[in-house]
A and B are shown apart, each in its own frame.
Chain A
């Protein structure tokens, strides 16, 4: 029996399961494939097994990594050319959209102070919340400047123009399809979702790009469909719920970059949670409720009953995605702790 895969990622907020685009991409991809993941949502980036700190981009995340390519691969049905297209659009996103996302969330003064820093400062535990957001801000700023190193100074308006074009191209490529390659989601859908959903959901004071995105109806629908189909119960902040923690090994160091580790490799034996959590509440992360037994429909296809019945779940999913949309799902009340 293989050890369970565990995913460490940033906590959720803004109506999303995770606020960090890279974490969100892996999380979404995992949901698409039905890979059994144990998810730990952290608000303290010093506690991940990989020991990687919160350096953005320390994982060059071209496409969400297939966990076990034979078993959980959302791209299994794609033709070779569709695989090539995936790679191309991933590049487009990384080159054109990512810099602007960094700029929108971390560099734009109004957005950073009133939205991003506020959220992180409220979410990261004391006393780290006093300096971590600033560190992250600096790193993002540096990352953005270095990306463009050698290209001369690129004015923000040029970045935004490129990003608007990128969004328009994505919208044209998607057209009236449900997902980018037909009726079932693939890794490209996960990546696009992870980049667009934060932009769509965050309540940014300065929402230039947001407005452009909102005018592209099919991209908005794409995000909304994925959110309601694959994250029916944890749209809200999962972190500050009713203290529902799992007794999982959140032993060593923290990491907002998604890191999938096998349980056996994961550091020292686990002390009880209570002994580990400092009084100010590092109780971070909880497990999704176990999915109910599979309810296969005739014909082998499974339908998601709880969310949007008109959207069929692709038949290749190994695990049913129909969790009960229980009202008792913890922490859906709001993104902020008090």
Chain B
């Protein structure tokens, strides 16, 4: 092995060792950086939780509002219908006697 070849081999080994070390450190740094921030799964879970909470709250509010706004009219209509039906039933009952 010539001196140039041996020198080149040594330099190549050192370069490969340095490159390997840098690569390993870079992978470790990437993993650390990746683990230090929220992932897509975390965002998905957060979205689902927020959606569920907002759904329940909106459902309750809107349901109460719609219930209140429709109850009175329905009560009036029901009362009228009840009067009509009751009158008919009463007439029928009276006729049956």
Same complex for A and B? Answer no
